[in-house]
Each structure stands twice: as C-alpha cells, then as structure tokens.
C-alpha cells in the first residue's frame, strides 16, 4: 500500500464574504493548492468535494462538477456530505483512493457559504444535521444541542462555564497571527462569561461564528511525489471514521462521544501510533464544550479531565499538547463544509514549519485532526506525520 502525501494546500480567508459565491471561494482555494503542489493539472484524476447546505444557502445542488470547472479541471468530481464533517470524509475517501492504487493525484476539500443567510435561517439550516422528527421538531438548534451536552457534562463529571471560557480565550489567542482566521481579537474569560446567552449554558462567545470559506488539498502517492520531485514532507499516515446514533437522546451517555473514540482508534491503529505520540491537534471546537469532548474522545484525557485542560495551560500554545493552534472553529471560523480540509491544511503548515504558530511546535512530528458531524454522530480523524 502506497503512502499519501500532502503536496499542496489552499485556503481562502475565513470570514464574511457577502460579495462572493461558493464557486468563487472554492476556485481560489483549489487554485492555491494546485499552485503550491506543482502538479500538472492534467494529472489530477478526481475531485472529492465537501459541502453541507449549499442547496439551502445558494440554491445550488450538484456542486461538485461546478467546483471542478472553477478549479480549471475536467475530471470526475463528487460531493461528500456528512454535516460539519463533509470535508473530513471527502479527504478520507481521497486518501483511500490513493492508497488503493486507484489514483495517484486527487484534489480534495470543501466549501460553505453561510453569511448570506439570516441568523434564523442559518440556525435552521445547521439544525438539519439533527434528527428532524425527534430533535428539530422539539426546538433543538445546534447551540442548543451542545448546551444539552455541556449541562450533561457538568452533571456527570463536574466543571463549570468558566472552564469552558478558557477554551475560547485560548483559541482566540491562537488565531491572532493566522492570516486566514475570521477573528483577530483577543478576548478575556470575563467577556466570555458576560456575553449574551444563546442557549444556556452556551453563550455567544462559546460558539463558533457563521463563516464563508473554502479549503483544498492536493494529495499524491509516494511514488508520484518521488517521480515528480515534489517537495511534500507531510504524509497522512492514519485515517479513521466513526459513527453513532443521530439523535442525542439515543446515545448511551449524553456527554461522551464514542464516534470520536472509534475514529481515533482506527486512525491510530492505521498509523501505528498512540495518543501519547501526538504532538499537537486540531479538533472540532464548534462550541467550547465540543473541544473538551474531542480531547477526551481522542484519548488525551480521561472523561471529566478534559474540561480543565485549557485553564491549566496544558492545551495552550505553550502547553504540552497545543490544541487548535489555527484558532480552531471558534476563532478561525467554521464554514461547515470546508472545515475538515482546513484542519488538515493548517496541520500541514504547522508541521512543515510555515505556519505563523509553527514556532510553538518546532520539533513536532505527529499531528492529529478531528472533524465531527452534527452532535458527533459522525467523526473523522486523521494522523499526519512530517519527515524530519
């Protein structure tokens, strides 16, 4: 089985782009990834494209061939949808295609346009990732769903809103030097605690923003990289995906995410590593509690221990296990269908040493990305390693 290398990454700025369409955003990211990779466009065999709610937001279904056009490519293109993990699965399937020998060069990523919708319409659009009969009709929103999980966490394991506020403060600090991030504003614990409540106990500054943006990666086989003399020191060495019941109330525990545990176990096994070997992570922190659930599900902390990690300084940029050096979804932004690709692009930059936060992890060799769909009914985990 061949190895898979990240030959190039492309990102748009994440933020509000009211004047731009999804096709324009993805075109920018795809061309950037193509240019950085140095591959001959004719060698790109397929596009795996992640998108969640384009049919609602832009009245544009069947987006994948459109995105191929925008990337200047005439090759098969397929859209992958797994809610907020859409790009994660798109990339995972591209990795599998290269490993199987079916393809030597793939373009994978995703895009979402969201800020053109009203807050109420975004809320409704995102809620479609929940169970329509039993959750949406019961007034569940996405902040509401994570609020239910946060309160269940406090009840089961302890912790308080102030612990979660430290997650938000940390991720805003990490986003400050990141040119692609939506927010370049440091915040304080008091500001998080005093922000308007969205869905108690989730406040406005516990939540990721509404974001437009796109991400793209060019993935190549080891053989292709060598034959073409590509400078591609980062490999995707592990990939895993886990699932769970869609509705929160059907889960065994309301503050534990077995889909993440299953995805991580598969990815670690695939890469031949363990949680202890990991130097840095990018996790799906759509809400502050989500980062806590993720670092526990990935095996870095026991249940109940993750909530204090940011407050104790363990997951800050200078801590033992930096989490979300990109700024995370919380501060970098969360264009849902693009996020999984953005995490791998950011991890690639961090490991290569050309990310503004790379100085914090100079000797890092192993990075992990974690992309979740809905209330973690889906999870995709990747292990990335860099040649040293």
Closer to another protein by CB, 1 or 133: give it: 133
Closer to another protein by CB, 200 or 223: give it: 200
Closer to another protein by CB, 2 or 156: give it: 156
Find the shortest distance in angstroms from Cβ 289 to another protein: 12
Q: How far apart are CA 204 and CA 201, in angstroms?
A: 10
Q: In the block, which residue shows the tokens 């989730």?
A: 202
Tell me which residue of 354, 341, 357, 295 sits closest to 90, measured CA to CA. Answer: 341
180-to-81, 117, 280, 340, 341 alpha-carbon distances in Å: 24, 22, 19, 15, 13
Find the shortest distance in angstroms from Cβ 328 to another protein: 22
Residues that bind another protein (CB under 8 A): 119-121, 123-124, 127, 133-141, 143-144, 147-149, 151-152, 155, 196-202, 245, 247-250, 254
Closer to another protein by CB, 27 or 159: give it: 159
Backbone angles phi, psi at 169, to 5 degrees: -60, -45
Closer to another protein by CB, 141 or 260: give it: 141
Element (H, E) at 116: none
Q: How far apart are CA 38 and CA 161, in angstroms?
A: 47
Find the shortest distance in angstroms from Cβ 233 to another protein: 44
Closer to another protein by CB, 121 or 173: give it: 121
Closer to another protein by CB, 84 or 351: give it: 84
Q: How far apart are CA 97 and CA 90, in angstroms?
A: 11
- Is 303 considered catalytic here? no
252: which DSSP letter? S
Find the shortest distance in angstroms from Cβ 131 to another protein: 8
Find the shortest distance in angstroms from Cβ 337 to another protein: 20
Relative to beta strand 213-221, strand 378-386 is unpaired
Q: Tell whether omega for the bond before 225 is within 30 degrees of 0, i.e. cis.
A: no
- Is 334 considered catalytic here? yes
Q: Can you name the residues that pair with 381 across neighbouring β-strands?
A: 240, 370
230-to-35, 219, 223, 325 alpha-carbon distances in Å: 12, 11, 10, 27
332-to-90, 172, 287, 288 alpha-carbon distances in Å: 21, 8, 13, 13
- Write down the catalytic residue from 13, 17, 334, 370: 334
Find the shortest distance in angstroms from Cβ 156 to another protein: 9
Find the shortest distance in angstroms from Cβ 365 to another protein: 40
Q: How far apart are CA 241 and CA 198, in angstroms?
A: 31
**What sign has the CA pseudo-torsion 183, 186, 189, 192?**
negative
Q: How far apart are CA 385 and CA 85, in angstroms?
A: 21
Tell me which residue of 292, 118, 134 sits closest to 202, measured CA to CA. Answer: 292
Q: How far apart are CA 87 and CA 93, in angstroms?
A: 10
Find the shortest distance in angstroms from Cβ 204 to another protein: 9
- In sequence order, the 6+-apart residues with CB closer than 8 A to the CB of 141 are 123, 126, 127, 199
Closer to another protein by CB, 303 or 352: give it: 303
Q: How far apart are CA 280 and CA 351, in angstroms?
A: 9
Q: Give the up-direction half-sphere exposure of residue 318: CA atoms within 13 A in the CB hemisphere.
A: 3
- Write down the catalytic residue from 84, 111, 208, 273: 84
The catalytic site residues sit at 84, 334
């Amino acid at each position: 089985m061949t190895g898979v290398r990240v030959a190039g990454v492309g990102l748009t700025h994440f933020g509000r782009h009211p004047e731009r369409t999804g096709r324009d955003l993805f075109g920018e990211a795809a061309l950037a990834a193509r240019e950085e990779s140095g591959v001959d466009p004719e060698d790109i065999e397929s596009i795996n494209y992640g998108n969640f709610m384009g049919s609602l937001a832009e009245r544009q279904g069947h987006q994948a061939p459109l995105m191929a056009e925008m990337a200047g490519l005439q090759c098969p293109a397929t859209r992958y949808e797994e809610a907020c993990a859409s790009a994660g699965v798109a990339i995972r399937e591209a990795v599998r295609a290269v490993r199987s020998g079916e393809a030597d060069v793939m373009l994978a990523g995703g895009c979402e346009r969201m800020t053109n919708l009203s807050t109420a319409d975004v809320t409704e659009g995102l809620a479609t990732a929940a169970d329509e009969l039993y959750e949406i009709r019961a007034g569940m929103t996405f902040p509401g769903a994570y609020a239910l999980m946060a309160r269940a966490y406090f009840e089961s394991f302890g912790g308080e809103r102030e612990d979660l506020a430290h997650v938000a403060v940390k991720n805003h600090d990490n986003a400050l030097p990141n040119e692609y991030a939506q927010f370049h504003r440091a915040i304080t614990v008091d500001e998080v605690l005093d922000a308007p409540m969205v869905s108690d106990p989730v406040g406005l500054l516990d939540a990721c923003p509404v974001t437009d943006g796109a991400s793209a990666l060019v993935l190549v086989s080891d053989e292709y990289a060598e034959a073409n003399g590509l400078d591609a020191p980062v490999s995707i060495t592990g990939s895993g995906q886990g699932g769970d019941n869609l509705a929160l109330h059907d889960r065994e525990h309301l503050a534990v995410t077995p889909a993440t545990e299953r995805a991580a176990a598969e990815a670690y096994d695939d890469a031949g590593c363990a949680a202890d070997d990991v130097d840095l992570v990018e996790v799906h922190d759509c809400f502050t509690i989500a980062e806590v659930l993720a670092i526990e599900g990935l095996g870095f902390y026991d249940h109940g221990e993750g909530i204090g990690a940011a407050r104790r300084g363990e997951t800050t940029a200078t801590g033992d296990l930096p989490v979300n050096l990109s700024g995370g979804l919380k501060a970098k932004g969360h264009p849902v269908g693009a996020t999984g690709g953005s995490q791998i692009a950011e991890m690639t930059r961090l490991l290569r040493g050309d990310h503004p936060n790379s100085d914090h992890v100079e000797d890092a060799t192993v990075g992990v990305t974690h992309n979740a769909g809905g209330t973690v009914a889906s999870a995709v985990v990747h292990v990335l390693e860099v040649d040293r």
